[in-house]
């Protein structure tokens, strides 16, 4: 049998590390996944086991190259992009790979914003909420100020997607999608690094900017490799290719991110305070977005439900949509229309609910999803406002959750709401940007399957 020509995409999430193979029609033909036990940094804070990740990638590729079933024609990466990997002058990694959830030092926070014009100015110009280490530029700033000896050993700082590309090619690049994802590095009005980055000299530690649809190099001198992409920007690509009518994509995972490529209004101070930001597309265009940590909250709460109701952690996957359980919840959902924009976006109220008030796991789980939807509606409306959106697409984990989808359609009853079935949107996007470098066929027009939900 002739080997199937494929592109290999490593999709690196905070928890799950996945490898996908897509054929020339961008059909998913093979996949595998892995998780790694976290390490700790010098302060005892959990961080990514980057050496284990690197080893897994290299071993997985060698195993695939040895098989006769597939012929790898290209490789690319989609990954969370809010953290830097540091390299020394010999291009060796300087550990650790810091966790973006690590608290940022309070005194250094105040010093930075006093020195550089204040929170409001920096946040507005960089289209980034104030997020501490989740503003990846602040990771490099912290090392410069708190660990100056270590800072002097840093030759290059690469966001994770570009580091993984470097791992295979040896080439050093930055890319717009990683620079533009709430890093506080990029001045959106100037379309260049912000003045504070230049003033602090951090630009000297950053690799040259390279468009992510260009070729980053070769693996083993023959297989084209992309420069990597920030996962949220990658997830938008299949939709931008497939649809021209205005839409919002709610990309759900650990973060639930509402992306509106058709809202060109400037971020307001109020929107920034509620965790709105701008991403940058692979075409270097801004995308207005709002974010919730709902996937993480869901992950924590199903553990609490499992313990209380003596069920396995994955029991939520068996819970079916029951309209009868939602009659009183629908009334609560409708009431949120009066509150839009009035509340800070954050965790839902479910954590404060007494589980003993629920008769069954199913009833409690319906309440959890309803509480998450209340927050989702508030978050999505921040980027919906003022744009002629006709469709809302939901992909990722919650798109497979009928309770979530029914409740979302219940609220947005004047907009078409769809669960999007696409084999791993972030990975698919990272594959599509490499099309010209490996695939002579036309880009298919049926890569997204849609299921319509009505109120």
What stretch of H or E contains 137? helix 136-146
Specify whether the CB–CB gap between 159 and 230 falls below 8 A: yes
Select the CATH number that applies to the domain covering 232-453 from these four: 3.30.565.10, 1.10.10.10, 3.30.565.60, 3.30.420.40.
3.30.420.40
Per the listing, tokens 């297989």 go with 223
User: Cα-atom radius of gyration of the chain, to the nearest Å?
Assistant: 22
Q: What is the pLDDT of residues 333-372, one digit of tens each?
A: 544 444 444 334 667 889 899 999 999 999 999 999 999 9
Per the listing, tokens 């997020």 go with 131
pLDDT-based confidence at residue 329 (cuts at 50, 70, 90): low
Domain coordinates of the chain in residue numbers? Answer: 232-453
Q: What is the pLDDT of residues 209-251, one digit of tens each?
A: 999 999 999 999 999 999 999 998 998 999 999 998 999 999 8
Specify whether the CB–CB gap between 265 and 288 falls below 8 A: yes
Give the model's pLDDT for residue 345. 60
Phi and psi angles of residue 102, each rounded to the nearest 5 degrees, phi first: -65, 130
3-state SS of the chain: helix, strand, coil percent to 5? Answer: 40, 25, 35
Query: Any idea which of 29-33, 227-231, 266-270, 439-443 has the lowest mean pLDDT?
Result: 266-270
Q: Which two tokens stand for residue 228?
A: 């990597």
Q: Which two tokens stand for residue 229?
A: 């992409």
pLDDT-based confidence at residue 135 (cuts at 50, 70, 90): very high
Q: Which of 159, 160, 189 is nearest to 286 (CA)?
A: 189
With a cut of 50, say whether residue 79 has pLDDT above it. Answer: yes
Which is it for strands 17-22 and 28-34: parallel, antiparallel or unpaired?
A: antiparallel
Q: Which two tokens stand for residue 450?
A: 């849609």
Q: Which residues contact 64 (CB under 8 A, 6 or more apart)?
A: 8, 21, 70, 72
Give the model's pLDDT for residue 328. 62
């Amino acid at each position: 049998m002739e080997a199937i020509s494929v592109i290999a995409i490593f999709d690196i999430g905070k928890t799950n590390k996945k490898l996908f193979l897509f054929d020339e029609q961008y059909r998913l033909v093979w996949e595998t996944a892995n998780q790694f036990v976290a390490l700790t940094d010098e302060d005892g804070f959990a961080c990514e086991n980057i050496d284990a990740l690197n080893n897994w990638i290299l071993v997985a590729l060698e195993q695939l190259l040895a098989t006769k079933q597939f012929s790898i024609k290209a490789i690319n990466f989609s990954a969370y992009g809010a953290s830097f990997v540091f390299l020394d002058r010999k291009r060796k990694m300087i550990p650790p790979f810091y966790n973006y959830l690590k608290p940022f030092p309070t005194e250094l926070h105040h010093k930075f914003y006093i020195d550089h014009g204040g929170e409001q100015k920096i946040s507005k110009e960089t289209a980034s909420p104030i997020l501490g280490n989740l503003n990846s530029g602040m990771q490099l700033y912290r090392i410069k100020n708190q660990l100056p000896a270590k800072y002097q050993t840093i030759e290059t700082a690469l966001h994770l997607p570009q580091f993984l590309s470097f791992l295979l090619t040896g080439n050093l690049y930055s890319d717009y999608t990683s620079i533009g994802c709430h890093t506080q590095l990029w001045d959106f009005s100037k379309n260049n690094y912000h003045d504070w980055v230049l003033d602090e000299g951090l630009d000297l530690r950053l690799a040259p900017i390279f468009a992510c649809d260009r070729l980053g190099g070769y693996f083993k001198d023959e297989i084209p490799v992309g420069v990597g992409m920030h996962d949220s920007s990658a997830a938008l690509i299949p939709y931008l290719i497939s649809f021209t009518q205005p839409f919002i994509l709610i990309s759900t995972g650990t973060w639930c991110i509402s992306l509106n490529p058709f809202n060109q209004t400037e971020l307001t101070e109020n929107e920034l305070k509620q965790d709105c930001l701008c991403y940058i597309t692979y075409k270097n265009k801004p995308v207005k977005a709002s974010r919730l940590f709902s996937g993480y909250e869901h992950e924590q709460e199903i553990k609490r439900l499992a313990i209380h109701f003596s069920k396995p952690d994955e029991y939520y996957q068996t819970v079916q949509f029951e309209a009868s359980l939602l009659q009183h919840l629908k009334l609560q959902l409708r009431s949120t229309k009066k509150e839009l924009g009035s509340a800070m976006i954050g965790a839902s109220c479910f954590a404060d609910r007494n589980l003993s008030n629920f008769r069954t796991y199913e009833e409690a789980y319906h309440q959890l999803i309803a509480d998450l939807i209340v927050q989702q509606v508030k978050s999505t409306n921040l980027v919906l406002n003022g744009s002629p959106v006709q469709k809302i697409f939901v992909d990722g984990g919650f798109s497979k959750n009928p309770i979530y989808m029914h409740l979302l359609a219940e609220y947005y009853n004047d907009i078409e709401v769809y669960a999007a079935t696409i084999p791993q949107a972030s990975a698919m996007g990272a594959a599509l940007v490499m099309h010209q470098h490996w695939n002579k066929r036309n880009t298919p027009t049926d890569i997204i399957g849609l299921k319509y939900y009505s109120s």
